Amino acid sequence: MSELTLTSLLLLFPLIFIVLTSAPPTIASEAATKGYSKSIPRFLGKFANPNRGKSFQYETRYFEQRLDHFSIADLPRFRQRYLISTRHWTGPDRMGPIFLYCGNEGDIEWFAANTGFVWDIAPRFGAMVLFPEHRYYGESMPYGSRDKAYANAASLSYLTAEQALADFAVLVTSLKRNLSAEGCPVVLFGGSYGGMLATWMRLKYPHIAIGALASSAPILQFEDIVPPETFYDIVSSSFKRESISCFDTIKKSWDVIISEGQKNDGLRQLTKAFRLCRDLKKTEDLSEWLDSAYSFLAMVNYPYPSDFLMPLPGHPIKEVCRKMDSCPEGTSVLERIFEGVSVYYNYTGKVECFQLDDDPHGMDGWNWQACTEMVMPMASSRESSMFPTYDYNYSSFQEGCWKDFSVKPRPTWITTEFGGHDFETTLKVFGSNIIFSNGLLDPWSGGSVLQNISETVVALVTEEGAHHIDLRSSTAEDPDWLVEQRAFEVKLIKGWIEDYHQKRNSVFSI
């Protein structure tokens, strides 16, 4: 399931690399305000491949949805795709539960293929499995096609989390009614942005879903709730814990890249050194490419081999650092970096040359969401980060969004609509049945909930876990802590369902 949410996220800020060589953080900020830099955090890499992952049996169906659930405007409807399996469902009479995965920013088939946990446990619960697709992704395109849906800010304006939640609510309500299954309890699942949706759906639609397993859901990564350095600090410490020299090599490398690039013929030399397929036009493109690799490695730093964008060994950061550190004495910083990053971009050894991501700010759904609602401040600290120092700069972020989408971000909307500040106080006396599961190796864990809030709003934290590893299919290589974690999740979900039946019966017997 971790494939779910890769990142090409980091896209760190072109000019700051130059600044880094000579200037204090304030100048880094100045550079940022010039509009050269823009950060749109991402969970999911653009290389995400729907063909990877396990295949499970389901039917593909479509459901007609309103484009704006919250107004009466007469807009064209669209077809939402959803995957459904009733194979193990015990049905309405036995009140068989419905497991609903909250589709996130990508093709729903890919999420289905990579969320083995839900498929693994469904038979034990006699549960229906439902994977509705998020609007504006995969086949669920308003206005009839991706091109039309993504034409401009006006056509994209209904790509919001609240509308996606309402899609799920309307779909499952209608489905239950048609099956006379109104009494069947719905349990939500979601990883990463999907986990945020699962949390919010449980909070906003408690009458529709009895509980939510929100894995690696950084619902607190907004405004000033957690420090903006959190993400990169965790990436950095994931490297540092493996090897201080590895951390230092990476920390040094950004300056080296810039000074190499400034030399005569420097860009051509870098192109050659990093075996790039096309001539490097500016050093920032190379830095972003490396940056993405490190952040992604931290997210998928799993204890066993896995296969996402590309195949990776178990404990991949350990492997990257081993490669960097084991170079013979005298090996240059950039040669070490190349050795290390090849673990990520070329573990099979079959890649002949590397394609950089030339258009990290292109017209894609998550970029739009990050430029409108999902404004997650990101910064890189001077001391604890191995990345170039960067202060979060909202003005330059806003400028970038205007340039890319002609849209103005709504940085305070998510916390107004869903909460976030003082989250614990709210949930101590409100809400129930949410599991926040997080692995501390995952850089997104810093923006999630890591402590129990109440008896039924609980945090499951694993020290060795990375990005929503618990939602993946179980394997023979699963470490004990992961087996235990999943068993505990199953136990809690079972408790929700039993409690639901008990409460419901007591109401009906009054």
The minimum distance between CB 204 and a copy of itself, in angstroms, equals 6
Number of residues that bind a copy of itself (CB under 8 A): 60
Of 285, 442, 470, 478, the active-site residue reads 442
Of 2, 37, 85, 192, the active-site residue reads 192
Residue 21 CB neighbours (<10 A): 13
With CB under 8 A as the contact rule, the residue among 95, 273, 407, 490 that binds a copy of itself is 407
CB 363 within 8 A of CB 150: yes
Return left, alpha or beta for 120; rule: phi > 0 is left, psi -120 to 50 is alpha, else beta.
alpha
Per-residue binding string, a copy of itself, 448-487, x by CB under 8 A, is --------x-------------------------------
With CB under 8 A as the contact rule, the residue among 433, 438, 445, 485 that binds a copy of itself is 433
CB 95 within 8 A of CB 38: no
CB 82 within 8 A of CB 171: yes
**Residues 139 to 168 in contact with a copy of itself, rule: CB under 8 A:** 153-154, 156-160, 162-163, 166
To 10 degrees, what angle do helices 316-325 and 230-242 make?
60
Distance of CA 438 to the CA centre of its chain: 12
Q: Report the alpha-carbon angle 81-162-76, nearest 5.
A: 55
Nearest CB to a copy of itself, comparing residues 420 and 446? 420
Nearest CB to a copy of itself, comparing residues 42 and 202? 202
Q: Is 494 in the site for a copy of itself (CB under 8 A)?
A: no
With CB under 8 A as the contact rule, the residue among 111, 193, 418, 444 that binds a copy of itself is 418
The minimum distance between CB 157 and a copy of itself, in angstroms, equals 4
In 303-425, the DSSP E strands lie at: 306-307, 311-312
Q: Is 281 in the site for a copy of itself (CB under 8 A)?
A: no
Bridge partners (DSSP) of residue 100 are 130, 188
The minimum distance between CB 507 and a copy of itself, in angstroms, equals 5
233 part of the active site: no
Return left, alpha or beta for 459; rule: phi > 0 is left, psi -120 to 50 is alpha, else beta.
beta
- State the virtual CA torsion across 150, 152, 153, 156 in degrees, nearest 10: -20
468 part of the active site: no
Q: Is 509 in the site for a copy of itself (CB under 8 A)?
A: no
The sign of the dihedral angle between the CA atoms of 475, 481, 487, 492 is: negative
192 part of the active site: yes
Helix, strand, coil percentages, rounded to 5, for the chain: 45, 10, 45
**Helix (H) / strand (E) containing 462:** strand 457-462
Q: Is 204 in the site for a copy of itself (CB under 8 A)?
A: yes
The minimum distance between CB 71 and a copy of itself, in angstroms, equals 5
With CB under 8 A as the contact rule, the residue among 195, 431, 443, 465 that binds a copy of itself is 431
Q: Which residues of this protein are in contact with a copy of itself, per CB under 8 A?
A: 68-74, 153-154, 156-160, 162-163, 166, 169-170, 173, 182-183, 203-208, 210, 372-373, 407, 410, 412-413, 415-433, 456, 499-500, 503-504, 507
Catalytic residue numbers read 192, 442, 467
